[in-house]
Chain A
Amino acid sequence: MLANIVIQFMNGLAGASSLFLVAAGLSIIFGVSRIVNFAHGSLYMLGIYLAYTFVEFFGRGSILGFWGAVLFGALSVGVIGAVIEIAVLRRIYRAPELFQLLATFALVLIIKDVALYIWGAEDLLGPRAPGLRGAVEILGKRFPQYDLVLIVIGPVVLGLLWLLLNRTRWGTLVRAATQDREMVGALGVNQAWLFTSVFFLGAFLAGLGGAVQLPREPAQLMLDVTTISDAFVIVVVGGMGSIGGAFVAALLIAQIKAFCIGIGDVTVFGIVFSFSKLTLVVEFIVMAIVLVVRPWGLLGKPQGSQRGASTVEPLMLPLNKGFWAITVGLLLALTALPLVGDDFLLVLFIDIAIFAVFAAALHFLMGPAGMVSFGHAAYFGLGCYGAALLFLKLKWPMELALIGSPIVAGIGALVFGWFCVRLSGVYLAMLTLAFAQIAWSVVFQWDAFTGGSNGLIGIWPSAWAKDKTIFYLLAMAICAGCVILLWRVVHAPFGYVLRAGRDSPLRVDAIGIDLRRFQWYGFALAGAVTGLAGGLYTFSKGSISPETLAIPRSVDGLVMVLLGGVQTLTGPVVGAALFTWLQDEIARNTEYWRAILGFTVLAIVLAFPAGVAGFAKIAWTRMRARPEAGGQAA
């Protein structure tokens, strides 16, 4: 028994090292640049791949070759990080926070396809470390030698980082910039190079975290997303910008995971409870608890406010007659689509309509209400599964199941939202991500009820709506209704309260408003509307899988909103249409649709920082303003 506990503890320590390296890099980058680098997991993935390539180059057998490959792999990733900073991020430090996020999403897509192009889709398993292939005996149990090295690497890097940050001039600058980067700039420090070097270090750490995993896990293309969600959890649990916090959090989570695996199945009162299955969610549960009890993480501090970076949100214009005329005109045109389009086009437009609702609801939260959700797919998925289960298990007809889907999703959003509205900013976003991940893993693992990874099939519309044209019109009507409802709500007093809360929570409180309650209901409303879109999605596809509520789906939603422009109401709809169409169009023609999408997104971010619809709006305003200005001058 004691031996088991010791071994699990050692396993936990070994697992913590890589997690810590990645999270420390993410944390340093966030601290200085305030950029939440979604591509950090991709850098980790590149670390493994590059180390693999270098090992092949130097020879698998030699000790020097192996450790040289690890070092070269990490250094190359560091250089890639610096290049990314110079080529992309440096141009958008002044852009709104969400744009920086979108740019790093784009990098995730690009790096994934670059890796696919260079290394292919097969898993690549590196050699075991030369000289450390054996195992040592601890209390009668065998423990891999290499894992002992990993256990040492974490604390060593922590110590080196501490020395670097506390005993060098560069480290002093980094700490100063973490506290107040404007002041550091005002004191004459070249911020550009400071940021580049910080990115180099952060990327190097991610690469190192990946490279040292080479003998333990195969290099594969899914590592980017799984790693980034782990790293986010650790950074948030430890406290944004705190290296020590990242270390403590990595240890804590790795230990809990190791013990969950160690405990295995436990039978309590005749019910078998599988702790090993818990590993998929346990870190997110820890994060949710930490965020609710200590909203700034275990060792973190409340974030200092940033000067200058806060952009003043523009006025929201009332929806005038012209706006409604265009909307009605467009809807009429869409109603006529079945006359000219084939079924294929109708299916594409149904998808567009459904994702327009998804994006509009997400925008409702992150735009006017100022609550960024990284896990919005949870409510979409709850709607999907709600409708499917009501249809399959309770034998409800399509009509009732469609009514049920927003209720299921709305209840889910009420539960999750109760916790979420207690936080704000990056922490809120992370908690939404955590809940989405929990929802996903429940669906993924509950084979008997949700069909597990296979999903559910055979969910077809009622007889009258089986015809594609009819279903298309039904979907259009529902989706248009949802979007228009959201638009109305944004302009109604309820939406104004949410917007007021984003602009000035202090003033909202001072005019007698219980903001949290409104945010809570707003969360539920957005969740319910998204759930209805999910219900429709289920019936349009006839089957669903856990992918409907996985992280990539949430990311798609964010990209749609940011693509269209977060500062306009029509933006999300435009973004959803553009995204869905692009995805469909490119995916049909090339294997590398992600990279093309990523480059498109990057180009848009760099060229139109206000999104496509935002850009059109600004251009329109300028065009109209010009004659007036000319008139005044004359």
Chain B
Amino acid sequence: MSVLTVSGLSKSFGGVQAVQDVSFSVSAGELLALIGPNGAGKTTCFNMLNGQLPADAGSVRLGEQSLVGMAPRDIWRLGVGRTFQITATFNSMTVRENVQMALLSHNRGLMRFWKPANLQYRDEAMALLDRVGMTDQAERACGILAYGDLKRVELAVALANNPRLLLMDEPTAGMAPGERLALMELTAKLARAGNIAVLFTEHDMDVVFAHADRIIVLNRGKLIAEGQPAAVRADPEVQKVYLGSGAVFAEAH
């Protein structure tokens, strides 16, 4: 069953066709990687999915619900979690408070003026942090956290509203190589356990080929390949525009 269905998505900036007629779908529990060279239109595509950019044409559906024209905050309420290429967390709050904010928002408890926020949804927040392995740092400020840990906080925040779909824009950008695989392994585990559909963009091919169930390749705004990792890796056009000869990856493994 597909959670996210995208068809005919297009966007142009001035005369530049950033995204042209892109269609794909993601199923529950599936990790779909969106890859392509710089400037291929990945981020534009992403920003249209979560409502930050209006699409020129095409449709985006979450289950049966159309997301076109909705604001990011309303899309989140339908069960779409989001992590950013450059982490966006509340740096003056602790790790736990960051998660509590998402929980308070999910439970519509924000318009309250008296009871301290950090006493509310404590256990739920700790449970989420436990899922991403961050309980031991729950009381630390996000502003002083290592980057890899911030990515895990973002993941916990994204899970706070029991999402059906996770959108992750370059989830491992800026992380050390060892941490990258660990983070995606964690994501894959959580997605399968919670039957969550995951769409992610990624430049690290080790991460992509190790964890993606399926891959779509974008080049100059157009979808040029789609399929299982092995098939995509063998695709001559993908090799030409993005992977190079493929020798590097093949030799390394």
Contact = CB atoms under 8 A, between A and B. Distances in A.
A631 interface: no
A513 B90 contact: no
A496 interface: yes
A315 B92 contact: yes
B120 A493 contact: yes
B110 A499 contact: no
A492 B112 contact: yes
Contact of B114 (A314, A488, A509, A514): A488
B73 A514 contact: yes
A491 B116 contact: yes
A494 B111 contact: yes
Contact of B93 (A489, A503, A514): A503
A502 B88 CA distance: 12
Contacts of B111: 493-494
Interface string B109-147: 111111111101000000000000000000001011000
B160 interface: yes
Contacts of B82: 510
Interface stretch (B61-69, B100-108, B177-185, B229-237): B100-108
A627 to B, nearest CB: 20
Contacts, number: 109
A141 interface: no
B76 interface: yes
A497 B112 CA distance: 10
B214 to A, nearest CB: 25
A507 B120 contact: no
Nearest to A496: B117
A512 B104 contact: no
Contacts of A312: 91-92, 143-144
B113 A510 contact: no
A630 interface: no
A496 B161 contact: no
Nearest to A501: B90
B76 A512 contact: yes
B73 A499 contact: no
Nearest to A368: B92
B73 A496 contact: no
B143 A313 contact: yes
B204 interface: no
Interface in A256-309: none
Nearest to A494: B113
B102 A492 contact: no
A45 to B, nearest CB: 40
A143 B143 CA distance: 63
B115 A492 contact: yes
Contacts of A497: 101, 110
A183 B114 CA distance: 46
A518 B110 contact: yes
Contacts of A514: 73
B249 to A, nearest CB: 33
A500 B143 contact: no
Contacts of B88: 504, 506-507, 510
A358 to B, nearest CB: 20
Contacts of B72: 509-510
B117 A493 contact: yes
Listed residue (B50, B74, B104, B109) with the most chain A CB atoms within 10 angstroms of its CB: B104
B116 A319 contact: yes
A318 interface: yes
Nearest to B97: A496
Max chain B C-beta neighbours (<10 A), residue from A312, A313, A502, A511: A511
A493 B110 contact: yes
B160 A313 contact: no
B104 A496 contact: yes
B117 A313 contact: no
A312 B90 CA distance: 10
A209 interface: no
A492 B160 contact: no
A503 B93 CA distance: 9
A162 B45 CA distance: 42
A494 B101 CA distance: 10
B89 interface: yes
Given A313-B143, A494-B112, A494-B113, A511 B157 contact: yes
Closest 8 A-B residue pairs measured CB to CB? Answer: A313-B92, A507-B88, A312-B143, A503-B90, A512-B76, A496-B117, A493-B117, A506-B88
Given A494-B110, A494-B111, A504-B91, 8 more contacts: A491-B118, A496-B101, A496-B110, A503-B91, A503-B92, A506-B88, A511-B73, A511-B161
